[in-house]
Structure 1
Amino acid sequence: MRAKAPTSTYRLQLGPALTLTRAAELVGYLHRLGVDTAYLSPILTAAPGSEHGYDVVDPTEVSPALGGDPARAALVERLRAHGMGVVVDIVPNHMSVAAPAANPWWWDVLRHGRDSAYARCFDIDWSQDVLQLPVLADDGDDGAAALAKLGIADGCLTYEDHRFPLAPGTHRAGDNPADVHARQHYRLVSWRRARTRLDYRRFFDITGLAGVRMEDPDVFTAGHAEILRWAERGELDGLRVDHPDGLADPGAYLRRLRERFPGWIVAEKILEPGEDLPASWPVAGTTGYDALREVCGVFVDPAGEPGLTALADSLGVPTDHAAAKAEGRRMAARELLRPEVVRIAALLDHPEPDRAEDAVAELLASFPAYRSYLPEGRAAWDTALAQARAARPDLADVLAALDARVRAEPEGEPALRVQQTSGMVMAKGTEDTAFYRATRMVALNEVGGDPARFGVPVAEFHAAQARRESAWPHTMTTLSTHDTKRSEDVRARLAVLSEIPEEFAAAVRRWRERRALPDPALDLLAWQTLVGTWPISADRLRDYLLKAAHEQKVRTSWLDPDPEFDAEVAAWPERVLSDDDLCADVAAFVGRVRAAGWSNALGQKLLQLVGPGVPDVYQGTELWDLSLVDPDNRRPVDFTLRECLLERLERGHVPEVDATGEAKLHVVRQALLLRRDGGRDLRGYLPLEPSGPAAAHAVAFARGPERDVAAVATRLPLGLARAGGWRDTVLPLPTGPGTWTDLLTGQVVAPERTDGFCAARLESLLARYPVALLVRRQPSG
């Protein structure tokens, strides 16, 4: 195990197309790119056919589908040979139970009920003694017709292609399947029952993922034995902890993990703007969504807000993001997560169960952050309680009783379950609902983002980076993940719309006259998506829009689909892309913003890679990547192409900024090599303040104890061009011995010196690229 934090990570999204063996073949490429540590998606055994690994069924072995433990060991050996580290993504909150036979722990629970040795592993409500499994089809008969399809085969209860175990002594030859079913520790019920009652905690609203009781020390030990075995053998350097907010006590879990694992740990914690990680968490930081908001936001022009708001208002698209979030969260609490609300309300023993459920739902929908962490840091809890009381004064007595119970027992079951569930409500109500309803400017509708705040001012950006450097210098930073709603390069192109809101509004109105979707918010999302990803295939766009429509939950949803509306949405991409005149107009508009989008993409990538924290590069994004939400962002990556382009750079090629994306690869390579091999200490953070007529169009900072590394990026490039370019704008550079050189161009910067102050002319510095990566080299001797 390496004692230090990584200098950078590269996320490999493993699956059928990228196994551990294939990952080992990429190590040489990653090392040449400058990557310090390979960052692997979950590698424990997942559900059959899993495309992502977050549906673990057996935490005691490496997935055979990925190559098993021999392939993992071979990958680690290859990484070590190149001096590289390995970080693995783990999923402590839940396990997949969709295919019971694939999960030995769940199978045993179904077979033996509450007497199973594994019953303590899952968060199950055994108050009824029988575990209800909502798997039966339901044509309005509560699953009655489906029960007639039960059978017995190979010692199992069968329903269609599902298999369930039989408790010992509950089946004899010739028994009626229905009678055998009645003798089990579980009952197969209509899938619709999960909308009102569920006997086990799940991951969000996915009934095929059951919550795990990691608060139990024995469950923790069993669930982490394989992972910690790798660490004990020196074959693991870091852990990325998925969804800690779903755990009963995230802080206690992370402290227990830290006792057993001394390496680098980051938690997938979504921070609201201004929120900090709990001080008691022994982690290096988050997985970087907070940095994503800051870095991407600085390339959005706040002056574009009125124009884009006017467009959305004129189309009937919601623009009050606070109201959209509140509506989405209430819907999530009252509908999507009602079983969780019912379970919490039952703990209150209130004489009016309906009022208790209403109070719990309102409280869950009122949290200002994903969750609180009692008894540490009561602010989020107190804010949620106050907002719930203000919204529902008729429930003040129930809320007061709940608050009194929680204050008396901050570690009791009601307190823990409210906190576990609030994050689920936030995620489902905001990310998976409001973000698809209030679509004014979807570049802002990102995990960890706040669409109500139109961009990030430069001063705020600098303050956030300085805080990160002082408080969480080894936290992960990111621009794209497997969970982002759209890739960094799509957001970079869409950010350009904030510079030309009236021009975009006129284009949307033209396009809508030819091909409009019937829902205004989905329609505006669709046109932004088309611009952001152009050129895109009809199939990819169709799949994305169908997912967006179901997440939006206005005209259709996953639980209550509208086939007619779904068919209209599915047909839209082909209709648009077969309209030659419309496509020509869209292509011309994209031609207007494409180069500015490339400028933004290079700028935000450089700021992330050189800025405070440990930067992660999501697989494939070292070239332009115009991906959308999963599963689109898990498409196979053409690493052969990337290796060929890397060889050109290694031979000294200085690429143009063009459609190949080679310029981005150049920026990524030079920044990563500087971090890993450049011999530069990147501690510290110093904002650099340009001066002159175009000062607002540059963002720059210096790093290192000697302030001998500087990153410079162009922002709002269309506005810069309209204003006449850089003209006499200059950037002050830290003084000291040596000469500044741009690692991207090899250009030696000759700053003008006046009164002991040196400044570089941006017109010269950024003549080749919209970004510069400067190092100050000491004079020889």
Structure 2
Amino acid sequence: MSDRAEAPPASTYRVQLRPGFTLDDAAGRVDYLRRLGVGAVYASPILAAAPGSQHGYDVVDPTRVADVLGGESGRAALVARVRAAGLGLVADIVPNHMSVAEPAANPWWWDVLRNGPGSRFARCFDIDFARGPLLLPVLGDDGDDGRAELDLLGIADGCLTYHEHRYPLAPGTCAPGDDPLLVHERQHYRLVSWRRGDTELGYRRFFDVTTLAGVRVEDPAVFDATHAEILRWAAAGDVDGLRIDHPDGLADPGGYLRRLRARFGGWIVVEKILHPGEALPASWPVDGTTGYDALREVCGVFVDPGGEAPLTELAGELGAATDYAAVTAQARTQIAENVLVAEVRRIAALLPDAPRERGEDAVAALLTSFVPYRSYLPEGEPDWAAAVAGATARRPDLAAELAAIDAAVRADERGEPARRVQQTSGMVVAKGTEDTAFYRYTRCAALNEVGGSPDLFGVAPAEFHARAAEREASWPHTMTALSTHDTKRAEDVRARLAVLAEIPAEFAVAVRRWSAAAGLSEPSLDLLAWQTLLGAWPISAERLAAYLGKAAKEAKLRTSWTDPDPAFEAEVAAWPQRILGADGVGAEVAAFAARIEAPGWSNALGQKLVQVLGPGVPDVYQGTELWDLSLVDPDNRRPVDFAEREAVLARLEDGWLPEIDRSGAVKMHVLRQALHLRRDRDLSGYRPLAATGPAAGHVLSFARGPRCDTVAVAVRLPMGLAAAGGWRGTRLPLPGGAGEWRDLLTGHTLAPDRSDGFTAPALADLLARYPVALLTRD
């Protein structure tokens, strides 16, 4: 079987299934998606998930479709509707972990708790049974390690009870009238304080989430059990592609993917976060990633590098962090030494010759030193060596312990020390960077995105073209994305925030005045709050308060999820209403937001056209066919008004050319034309196009297709363009050849400039109506 799918989708449209938007609801939108130009419906996980799940990544039973989503009949109905429309179907699957939040909901976990190591499902979970009873960190804790909560244990219906939670009893461990505390002591598990989850956990978890237990999918029998239902769909021809969640958590990602490829011949993409410059392992038999690498490049090319120094100066003046390397190092160290202590100790225990404390310090130093999320040995040996060298340079006092870890890993690259370190480094890097440093280093929030590196201020056009050409040559069927369910802010928010890099001095003057009058007391959150207000304007106080509350906890500077500061959180919660209700500052913010709104729209249209027409398989996140000003989850999982979108689509189908306004109809117009073109034409190949004239740096353009007969054109840095006097005679020479060029967005045809067909339209004319053009030649 080939390493890569033979027929990937032309594009995908991500739908977030949940109790309020089921498989039947998705089926009802298939015709709309077909008319929009989408190639495949891309569904969030549909297997049975934890009660009340709003996303599906907390699977409790991999053998059946979630009843709350419509069950097997709902899945079959969606497949039938998709096939009738001539579309594909892509499924999101979660091989790394299962939810154990409600033991009764997970039959495998229930059996493990009941029967311990003797359970037939014990091999399914990554549990260290040698440590004794399995610790379940669920008890409330008022500073007594949860001891008072043990008095609340009870026995009911043959189960151990704690509040509304139920836990199984091992056979023969409970007789009528037995003391619940004594019964508890007879089980294969112990209920302990929730605070001990970070330090004493006996099972591998997903990041720091103790309610998600790691699955040993590297075991062939476990792979078969967890994938039987998914592979049944594949065998029936019901699914065309698979999106693999969190491969970095797997013991052997490459081995897992090779086993999957042997059973599935369709399109496979992995949620692999590539650090800038990092390559996807060539040995993985997949079609690419889920697109965060492309997101950085597409969004970055619309950011003005000239804004870096002024915005850095502003951050420093306000008291926010300006040294990204120091911020990330501190954040990763905090994660390794305070949040993922259980994982660090489990690795250190594999080094019997090292004193416990020094061994743990060495493991923590190593885990914080990776540049990419993890190494993939043996091919990732350079990344491994660099991490060891980096840790040794920072902690020469631990050189002996680090050398011991290095030796243990190199002695057996598939052994437990190597496996544990590789699985855990990704946890430390992701939690330390995305979920901590990105909320502390806030000089330019447009750059603080999954897959990005905020210290790299934008992407030059030359780099963009080089990366795009490389993608077309090496990973032509990788997914590309601008918004996902995991992005920190929606694509249109980033597009508007990118404008601030063009007017950094003006922004700095405003923020200095606003902060002095009504700023938050923590500088990095204060700077982030003003940017968020501008990027998501207009926004309700409720939405903004929810976002800032989460941001404050993720930053872990003045408060956190596990060590809250009620007074600071009250300040943050009250801030949005205080600002939005103020005539002075609130009015100024509204005026500034209005000033950057139109150039933000220009950026948004440009990055959308560039994404959809560029190399790879573009994904459209639900609802983003119109302007979307969502923030981080759960804000970006709000219901989508499909009725509104269908009404806009109907007008576009009748030939309407919308204005650029707050309706967002123009974005759907650009997207619809690009998606249909992508579905109908061969867009292989990639050729950068260069403009000529004084404003050449303000246009990004490239040609696609075997004959370079499709061209995308987008304005970049629109405020700088206007300030410099516009296009001033700048032209865009188009690829030569026979045929007349036509702009699919306006319907205008371009007259050749010479008898041989050479065409070089003036950009002032070409982009007179829209800041983008989609040119085709028959």
TM-score range, shorter chain: over 0.9
Aligned to 1:631: 634
The one-letter code matched in structure 1 to 2:604 is A
Query: What's the offset of the Cα at 1:375?
Result: 1.3
Contact 1:271/1:277, CA 8 A, preserved across alignment: yes
Contact 1:368/1:380, CA 8 A, preserved across alignment: yes
Q: What is the SS of the residue equivalent to 2:41?
A: strand
1:17 aligns with 2:41: no
The one-letter code matched in structure 2 to 1:8 is S
Aligned to 2:491: 488
Deviation string 1:254-310 (CA, Å, 9 cap, x unpaired) is 000000111000000000011111011000000000000000000000001111111
| Aligned match for 1:368, one of 371, 393, 401 | 371
Query: What's the offset of the Cα at 1:15?
Result: 0.6
Q: Identity, % of aligned pairs? A: 69
Aligned to 1:297: 300
C-alpha change, 1:253 and 1:2, in structure 2 (3 Å) is: closer
Query: What's the offset of the Cα at 1:756?
Result: 7.5
Distance 1:69 1:322 in 2: 49
Distance 1:765 1:753 in 2: 18
Query: What's the offset of the Cα at 1:515?
Result: 1.3
Aligned to 1:721: 722
Contact 2:347/2:420, CA 8 A, preserved across alignment: yes
Give structure 2 stretches of 5+ with no counterpart. none
1:708 aligns with 2:721: no
Distance 2:739 2:256 in 1: 49
Q: What is the SS of the residue equivalent to 1:617?
A: strand
Aligned to 1:55: 58
Aligned to 1:773: 774
The one-letter code matched in structure 2 to 1:327 is Q
Aligned to 1:227: 230
Query: What's the offset of the Cα at 1:736?
Result: 0.6
Contact 2:737/2:757, CA 8 A, preserved across alignment: no
Query: What's the offset of the Cα at 1:141?
Result: 0.9
Contact 1:294/1:461, CA 8 A, preserved across alignment: yes
Distance 1:612 1:458 in 2: 15
| Aligned match for 2:582, one of 561, 579, 582 | 579
1:523-534 matches, cutoff 5 A: 523-534=526-537
C-alpha change, 1:607 and 1:351, in structure 2 (3 Å) is: closer
Q: What is the SS of the residue equivalent to 2:676?
A: helix
Query: What's the offset of the Cα at 1:192?
Result: 1.2
Query: What's the offset of the Cα at 1:757?
Result: 4.5
Q: What is the SS of the residue equivalent to 1:760?
A: coil
Superposed CA RMSD in Å reads: 1.1
Query: What's the offset of the Cα at 1:581?
Result: 2.2
Aligned to 1:736: 737
Query: What's the offset of the Cα at 1:751?
Result: 4.0
Q: What is the SS of the residue equivalent to 1:530?
A: helix
Query: What's the offset of the Cα at 1:755?
Result: 8.6
The one-letter code matched in structure 2 to 1:427 is A
1:36-435 matches, cutoff 5 A: 36-435=39-438
Deviation string 1:303-350 (CA, Å, 9 cap, x unpaired) is 011111110010011111111111111111111111000000001113
Aligned to 1:610: 613
C-alpha change, 1:521 and 1:751, in structure 2 (3 Å) is: farther
The one-letter code matched in structure 1 to 2:349 is A
Distance 2:619 2:479 in 1: 7
Q: What is the SS of the residue equivalent to 1:758?
A: coil
Query: What's the offset of the Cα at 1:379?
Result: 1.1
Aligned to 2:538: 535
Deviation string 1:29-55 (CA, Å, 9 cap, x unpaired) is 000000010000000000000010000
Query: What's the offset of the Cα at 1:749?
Result: 1.4
Query: What's the offset of the Cα at 1:692?
Result: 0.2
Deviation string 1:588-620 (CA, Å, 9 cap, x unpaired) is 101110000000000000000000000000000
Q: What is the SS of the residue equivalent to 2:720?
A: helix
Contact 1:332/1:425, CA 8 A, preserved across alignment: yes
Q: More deviation in 749-758 or 22-31?
A: 749-758
Query: What's the offset of the Cα at 1:759?
Result: 1.2
Distance 1:308 1:342 in 2: 41
Contact 2:5/2:268, CA 8 A, preserved across alignment: no
Contact 1:751/1:761, CA 8 A, preserved across alignment: no
The one-letter code matched in structure 2 to 1:690 is A
Q: What is the SS of the residue equivalent to 1:707?
A: coil
Query: What's the offset of the Cα at 1:7?
Result: 0.2
Distance 2:5 2:419 in 1: 36
Aligned to 1:464: 467
TM-score, length-normalised on structure 2? Answer: 0.99
1:682 aligns with 2:683: yes
Contact 2:198/2:339, CA 8 A, preserved across alignment: yes
The one-letter code matched in structure 2 to 1:510 is R
TM-score, length-normalised on structure 1? Answer: 0.98
Deviation string 1:186-229 (CA, Å, 9 cap, x unpaired) is 01111111121100000000000000000100000000000000
Distance 2:752 2:574 in 1: 58
Aligned to 2:746: 745
Q: What is the SS of the residue equivalent to 1:706?
A: coil
Contact 1:753/1:759, CA 8 A, preserved across alignment: no
Q: More deviation in 561-570 or 599-608?
A: 561-570
Distance 2:354 2:400 in 1: 12
Distance 2:658 2:713 in 1: 18
Distance 2:72 2:524 in 1: 47
Query: What's the offset of the Cα at 1:509?
Result: 1.3
Distance 1:692 1:553 in 2: 49
The one-letter code matched in structure 1 to 2:726 is G
C-alpha change, 1:104 and 1:131, in structure 2 (3 Å) is: same
